Amino acid sequence: MPKSSKKRKEKAADFSKAKLKLGKGKKAPSNEIDTSFKARSVALPNQTIRTEEQVIAQGVPTTRRRLTYDDLLVHLKHYSPGTRKDALQGLRELLGDHPELIIPNLGSLLDTVSKLIADDDHSVRKSLISFLEWVLEQVPAATLIPHAPPLLLFAAAALAHISAPVRADSVRVIGILLEKVPRAVVSGAGLRGAKEEGPGARILDGLLAALGVGDSRGVGSNQSLSDSTKYTLLATLSAFLQHALASASPILNPGNSIPTWFFASSFLSSTTFDSFVALLAPRESPTAQRNKRITKLNKGEFVAGPMNCDLDVLDTVATLDGDTLNKDSDPNPLVVLVSRIHPLLTATFLDNAPQLRLPTQTPVQSLELVLCVVELARFVYGALIRDGHANEETFDSLATFMAHMAPYFPFGEETLLTTIEPVNVKTREGFQTLNLDYAELVSLQISRAVPNDPGTRRSKRGSKPMADRKQVDKVASYVVRALRGEVGSPPGLPSALSLIAYTSLLPTIWALRSESGVIPTTMQYATSGFGAGNKAVKRAAVEFMGRIILINSDPRCAEIPSLDNADVKEWVLGLPRTAWEFGDKDLKGTEIVLLILLRMNQRKLYDNPTLDALRQRLIPFFIFDHAKRGTITGPWTKLPDHLQRLALDVMSSLCHGGGEDVGELTSVVDRAVAQTTLAEYWMHLRPLNI
């Protein structure tokens, strides 16, 4: 019987070749061995290969996960964002428990974490910013400066990153560094023409590029910025320029209680202005003078060690004539900066200022943006005009910006009256700051820059544009009301100016000194009303009025303000009481009062009745007899030695002219110094004919 076809096919199946069809996969051979497998992983994040016994034996500080400092640095370079974030949190934990590890490892720590500034993951950058805010507070500024370059390098590079969130976070890192080591951040900005190395120029250009300012070398942003991001950028730029312009300011004198740069426009040369500033400059105590190392050499004597002499400076002076033409041809960097940011300031102000007049609650973000823009304008225009480098274009741009601000001044008055909801304190302070900044900008328009010496080359400047008369009248009215406490508070409740607010008003007061009521109100503020409540404000007010009186009697002054002699006499007779109030509680205030009394007497500004009244009122400052309490010593006995000597100098100067109360005052001083070490000093100063 023949074999069936089925069996024949089964025999031939082992030797037949399967035909491949188009689009069908190749079949696996029958003898193929499957090597695939599946496995389960168990995650143990709180465990490590180190045992507790090994950790104790090694004595190395670790986190709760038994990770050492070196382990955490390695994890910062891990490919997983979660691991990098956990490493930052682990560093916070480890360094918080062992703060002694921060300083020795500061270089490696900042060098490693700086690479995370441009990290692609937002959570890692957020953790980095939080970590930097914490760790930099644990390090002194002097220790941090040598290790800051890696942070500045990567932060400046991140400002040109293609990702907008990375640029925004790098700005926050720069803001942290500006608070901690501002000098290291702004070095090299070159806004005042000084050439120095540093990342300042690159950081400034990156900030401008992030804001969309033209002519920047960095990567610009074509996307519209959110209000919060724009505010962060503007606030950081404002802080940067504030430190950069203040670091090399040749006019501001930190030894004075008040700024004095605005007085310079009344003097013909910087030498006479400097001598005027020194009239009320505080003296150094003998202890501070001894702390300064002063090396005195005789002829032919040599000294080893550094001579504190920079030969490059001498070379610069020697080649000054050859470089003068080149300097005149180069545009001033600050002028270029002002021309670049002017459109940004104007556009930001016009976009947000109308919202300040809404009848509902004032938008906080709009107020912050407007405040930041106006503060920025005050910094750059003020520095440019004070330095004397402002040209016609600068004054035109300032006038344009002021024209946009004028309809809103005084800021917040209509809002405070018409708003439905109550206005908080922060909003009121913001409106007050805007008004003070506007007043100072108006004073910049109507005041001149510091004149140069006659022998030096004058820079070519545009003519001074006078401010609009309506602006001047409105600002003068606001200044008078502010000194009287009628602004910045709810209706019916007077408000006192803070020290910052009062010193911000001083340039405006001096620029508006010829306006009706400005100087008399300023004089009243120094002795009565709201100025008497805060000793720091009162000290500044007394010094300001003293300088106005001294400049009024200075023959070298070109613009002398007109003062009422009766008001001046009344103010001067209140100085002994002011000196008593200051006493040993405010040594700077006491010194300023004594210097004013001395300088005015040296210039023969007292008539005989005023001198007699001053001598009589200065007696309680030393010692006096009370009807019930007996002999009471005055504030003089509690003053330090150098101020006691200054007070004796003042008494000697007041008594040398003779008068009715000279004998009484000298006898009181005799009693006060009898049991002190200054008895001999007073005997040399005491008038002989008494």
C-alpha torsion sign, points 149, 155, 161, 166: positive
In DSSP notation, 108-154 reads HHHHHHGGGTT-S-HHHHHHHHHHHHHHHHTS-HHHHGGG-HHHHHH
| Higher per-residue confidence, 664 vs 562 | 664
The model's pTM: 0.75
Percentage of residues in the chain having pLDDT higher than 90: 26
User: Going by C-beta distance under 8 Å and a sequence separation of 6 or more, which residues neighbour residue 477?
Assistant: none
Q: How far apart are CA 344 and CA 338, in angstroms?
A: 10
| Cis? peptide before 494, omega within 30° of 0 | no
Spatial CA neighbour of 522 closest among 467, 595, 571: 571
User: How does DSSP classify residue 50?
Assistant: S
Looking at residue 123, what is its pLDDT?
Answer: 93
Tell me the per-residue pLDDT of 597-644, one tens digit each, with 9 for 90 and over.
Answer: 999 998 888 888 888 888 889 988 988 877 777 788 888 989 999 999
Looking at residue 48, what is its pLDDT?
Answer: 55
Q: How far apart are CA 388 and CA 164, in angstroms?
A: 38
Looking at residue 456, what is its pLDDT?
Answer: 36
Looking at residue 364, what is its pLDDT?
Answer: 84
Contact 224/211 with Cβ under 8 angstroms? no
In DSSP notation, 249-286 reads -SS--TTSSS--GGGGGGBSSHHHHHHHHGGGPPPPPH
Point out the least confidently predicted range of 335-339, 361-365, 475-479, 514-518: 361-365
The stretch 413-429 carries a mean pLDDT of 66
The stretch 44-48 carries a mean pLDDT of 53
pLDDT band for position 414 (cuts 50, 70, 90): low
Out of 3.50.50.60, 1.10.150.570, 3.40.50.2300, 1.25.10.10, select the CATH number for domain 56-213+224-243: 1.25.10.10
Tell me the per-residue pLDDT of 287-329, one tens digit each, with 9 for 90 and over.
Answer: 555 554 443 333 333 333 333 333 333 333 333 344 433 444 5
Tell me the per-residue pLDDT of 245-267, one tens digit each, with 9 for 90 and over.
Answer: 875 444 444 456 788 888 888 88
Spatial CA neighbour of 189 closest among 171, 204, 207: 204
Distances (CA, A) of 653 to 6, 155, 242, 599, 686: 140, 60, 43, 10, 9
The stretch 471-495 carries a mean pLDDT of 77
| Higher per-residue confidence, 551 vs 248 | 551
Q: How far apart are CA 612 and CA 428, in angstroms?
A: 47
Looking at residue 454, what is its pLDDT?
Answer: 38
User: Going by C-beta distance under 8 Å and a sequence separation of 6 or more, which residues neighbour residue 343?
Assistant: none
Looking at residue 50, what is its pLDDT?
Answer: 56
| Higher per-residue confidence, 446 vs 91 | 91
The pLDDT of residue 130 is above 90: yes
The pLDDT of residue 19 is above 90: no
The pLDDT of residue 36 is above 60: yes
Mean of the per-residue pLDDT values for the chain? 79
Contact 445/466 with Cβ under 8 angstroms? yes
Point out the least confidently predicted range of 47-56, 477-486, 561-570, 674-683: 47-56
Contact 551/511 with Cβ under 8 angstroms? no
Looking at residue 226, what is its pLDDT?
Answer: 84
In DSSP notation, 314-370 reads HHHHHTHHHHHHHHHHSPPHHHHHHHHHHHHHHHHHHHHGGGGG-SSPPPHHHHHHH
Tell me the per-residue pLDDT of 54-111, one tens digit each, with 9 for 90 and over.
Answer: 556 666 788 888 888 888 999 999 999 999 999 999 999 999 998 899 999 999 999 9
Looking at residue 310, what is its pLDDT?
Answer: 39
Spatial CA neighbour of 451 closest among 317, 274, 244, 332: 274
Looking at residue 416, what is its pLDDT?
Answer: 58
Which residue do the tokens 């100087």 mark? 519
Looking at residue 490, what is its pLDDT?
Answer: 57
Q: For residues 466, 471, 475 and 476, what is the CA-based torsion angle, rounded to 10 degrees?
A: 70
The stretch 37-53 carries a mean pLDDT of 63
Q: Where are the domains of the chain?
A: 56-213+224-243, 259-284+331-447+465-562, 577-689
User: How does DSSP classify residue 425?
Assistant: H
Looking at residue 53, what is its pLDDT?
Answer: 60
The stretch 367-383 carries a mean pLDDT of 91
The stretch 651-657 carries a mean pLDDT of 84
* Token digits of residue 420: 């439905």
The pLDDT of residue 690 is above 90: no
Looking at residue 358, what is its pLDDT?
Answer: 75
- Give me the count of residues in the chain: 690
| Higher per-residue confidence, 387 vs 174 | 174
Q: How far apart are CA 556 and CA 558, in angstroms?
A: 6
Backbone angles phi, psi at 560, to 5 degrees: -100, 125
Contact 537/496 with Cβ under 8 angstroms? yes
Looking at residue 343, what is its pLDDT?
Answer: 92
Contact 169/129 with Cβ under 8 angstroms? yes
Which residue do the tokens 């005491």 mark? 686
Helix (H, G, I), strand (E, B) or coil at 682: helix
The pLDDT of residue 452 is above 50: no
Tell me the per-residue pLDDT of 195-236, one tens digit each, with 9 for 90 and over.
Answer: 778 888 899 999 998 888 865 544 444 457 788 889 999 999
Contact 653/598 with Cβ under 8 angstroms? yes
Which residue do the tokens 């004796």 mark? 648
Tell me the per-residue pLDDT of 326-357, one tens digit each, with 9 for 90 and over.
Answer: 444 567 888 888 999 999 999 999 999 888 88
Backbone angles phi, psi at 557, to 5 degrees: -80, 135
Looking at residue 265, what is its pLDDT?
Answer: 81
Neighbouring CB atoms inside 10 A of 101's CB total: 15
Q: How far apart are CA 446 and CA 514, in angstroms?
A: 12
205-226 burial, b at 16+ Cβ within 10 Å, e below that, comes to: bbbbbbbbbeebebeebeeebe
Looking at residue 418, what is its pLDDT?
Answer: 54
* Token digits of residue 612: 């007699």
The stretch 658-680 carries a mean pLDDT of 82
The pLDDT of residue 405 is above 80: yes
Looking at residue 295, what is its pLDDT?
Answer: 36
Looking at residue 471, what is its pLDDT?
Answer: 84
Helix (H, G, I), strand (E, B) or coil at 295: coil
Considering 107-121, 507-521, 671-685, the range whose residues carry the highest mean pLDDT is: 107-121
Looking at residue 419, what is its pLDDT?
Answer: 53
The stretch 174-179 carries a mean pLDDT of 94
Looking at residue 599, what is its pLDDT?
Answer: 92
Backbone angles phi, psi at 595, to 5 degrees: -65, -40
Contact 519/569 with Cβ under 8 angstroms? no
Looking at residue 415, what is its pLDDT?
Answer: 61
Spatial CA neighbour of 211 closest among 403, 372, 40: 372
pLDDT band for position 515 (cuts 50, 70, 90): confident
Looking at residue 52, what is its pLDDT?
Answer: 58
Looking at residue 55, what is its pLDDT?
Answer: 58
Contact 77/119 with Cβ under 8 angstroms? no
Distances (CA, A) of 149 to 110, 145, 248, 494, 607: 9, 8, 21, 50, 63
